[in-house]
Structure 1
Amino acid sequence: MKKPVIWITGASSGIGAATAKKFSKEGYAIVLSSRKEKELEKVKSECQYPEDCAILPLDLAEADSLPSKTEQAIQFFGHIDVMFHNGGISQRSLAMETEIEVDRKIMEVNYFGTIILTKALLSHFKERKSGHFAVTSSLVGIIGSPYRSSYAASKHALHGYFDSVRAEHFADNVAVTMICPGFIKTNVSVNAVTGDGKPLNQMDDAQANGMSAEKCAEKIFKGIKGRKEEIYIGGKEVMAIYLKRFVPGIFSKILQKAKVR
């Protein structure tokens, strides 16, 4: 019996690496992708069944290479069951201090790179009458917050795009799960770009005190297996979604006073 297959971008560290290990433990074959091949090798070695893990380096900013990368991903195990779009970059800079080239880079990686892979994989899912897109968004994919203007915009865009994909391909048995983490203890803030495109190189306090990537991966696995449309992961920061939804005026006042960085 063939193992189900999940392809994970951003698999070299953090949420991606933890999720790869969780799915391997649960009997999935894994295609591991990111820019960092050496780190992918390490993640593969730490999976429960490394013999069922394939490594496919890619850069989401290199749009022209992504359709052929999709073909390679399918060839490893003959099919893909779940595409976990987890690769991306974050931001820590005020909107007025962010160079437009940085805004464009964030959109190119987080949005365009993701949807190019999606377009390349949709025919495979449609032909098989089965498939699942899981997409790492963020709480700021639903709410905006200071220092994350273009990051929030890229994640908001993913929600609009994948809500449409879900509706368009319901009859093809293609599912979409939007994953909205809050503060997870990873290097996402360390690697976040600043206004001039340089990395922040420091850990946010909220990130440092956040949920472990392993616990986050457990929730992601459960959400994907349950074919949930949207899942919120984190601590008390998740309440921000409900405040925004039900009392937006009060939420705006809280956000204006908050020291969010």
Structure 2
Amino acid sequence: TSLAVFERIMAVNFYGALHCTQAALPSLVARRGQIIVLSSLSQYAPVPDRAAYNASKHALHGLFETLRGELDGTGVHVMMVCPGYTATDLRKNVLVGDGSTAPQPVLTAGRVASPQDVAEAIYQGALKRRRLLVLSNLDWRARMIARCFPRLFEQLLLPRLTGSRMSRGVS
């Protein structure tokens, strides 16, 4: 994957969230508001051949989990949202290593959430001031295996979820 692709994806996924948060933070502190960060299930189970995307989502977690600690005592709440596969057109605009787009097939394994269901779950999570909201067709056991036994996850579960195997090497 070219450096330009990494920079483009980080500009949107990471720096976009950072810049919006910095601009809104004084108002959020004054109103004891809430920051809701849209991350991804790739935080727990990386999507094959999407190193830049996965890295951008990991970076979001590092930034906003740190910010949560820095805002302790201000009344500002931070919720990380990690949706799984959602029925959007995002899959039609996936960037590949050279920066071109390569439409991805519709997920054939597991449940695909509707945007309305995801939005409602985020709203309900915000009302409850959840710290982490994982919305996924990948249940907690699969996330645990991905985190604790990544090789097992890559060999056994990932092919069933994505129809492919993790590539060897760095993309």
Query: Which residue is 2:128 aligned to?
Result: 226
Assess, with a 3 A threshold, how the Cα gap between structure 1 residues 125 and 192 changes in structure 2: closer, same or farther: same
Q: Does 1:102 align with 2:5?
A: yes
Query: Which residue is 1:144 aligned to?
Result: 46
Three-state SS of the structure 1 residue aligned to 2:46 is coil
Offset at 1:206? 4.1
Three-state SS of the structure 1 residue aligned to 2:45 is coil
Residues 1-150 of structure 1 aligned to structure 2 (within 5 Å) = 98-128=1-31, 130-150=32-52
Q: Kindly indicate whether the alpha-carbon contact (under 8 Å) linking 1:142 and 1:156 is maintained by their aligned counterparts in 2.
A: no
Q: Kindly indicate whether the alpha-carbon contact (under 8 Å) linking 2:86 and 2:113 is maintained by their aligned counterparts in 1.
A: yes
Larger strand fraction of residues: 1
Three-state SS of the structure 1 residue aligned to 2:93 is coil
Assess, with a 3 A threshold, how the Cα gap between structure 1 residues 201 and 208 changes in structure 2: closer, same or farther: farther
What residue identity is the alignment partner of 2:79? T
Residues 211-222 of structure 1 aligned to structure 2 (within 5 Å) = 211-222=113-124
Structure 1 or 2, whichever has the larger Rg, is: 1
Gaps spanning 5+ residues in structure 1: where?
Answer: 1-97
- Return the alpha-carbon distance in structure 1 between the equivalents of residues 60 and 85 of structure 2: 19
- Return the alpha-carbon distance in structure 2 between the equivalents of residues 207 and 197 of structure 1: 27
Query: Which residue is 1:242 aligned to?
Result: 144
Gaps spanning 5+ residues in structure 2: where?
Answer: 166-171
What residue identity is the alignment partner of 1:121? A
Superposed CA offset, 1:194-248 (max 9, x none): 2222222344334996121111222111111111111111224664312223444
Query: Which residue is 1:52 aligned to?
Result: none
Superposed CA offset, 1:112-162 (max 9, x none): 12101111111222233x111111111102332311111000000000100
TM-score, normalised with respect to structure 2: 0.83
Q: CA RMSD in A?
A: 2.4
Assess, with a 3 A threshold, how the Cα gap between structure 1 residues 166 and 249 changes in structure 2: closer, same or farther: same
TM-score, normalised with respect to structure 1: 0.56
- Return the alpha-carbon distance in structure 2 between the equivalents of residues 144 and 181 of structure 1: 13
Assess, with a 3 A threshold, how the Cα gap between structure 1 residues 160 and 206 changes in structure 2: closer, same or farther: farther
What residue identity is the alignment partner of 2:2? E
Offset at 1:191? 1.6
Of structures 1 and 2, the one with the larger relative CO (CA 8 A, separation 6+) is: 2
The share of aligned pairs that are identical, in percent, is 33
What residue identity is the alignment partner of 2:71? H
- Return the alpha-carbon distance in structure 2 between the equivalents of residues 133 and 164 of structure 1: 13
Across the two proteins, how many residue pairs are aligned to each other? Answer: 163
Q: Does 1:182 align with 2:84?
A: yes
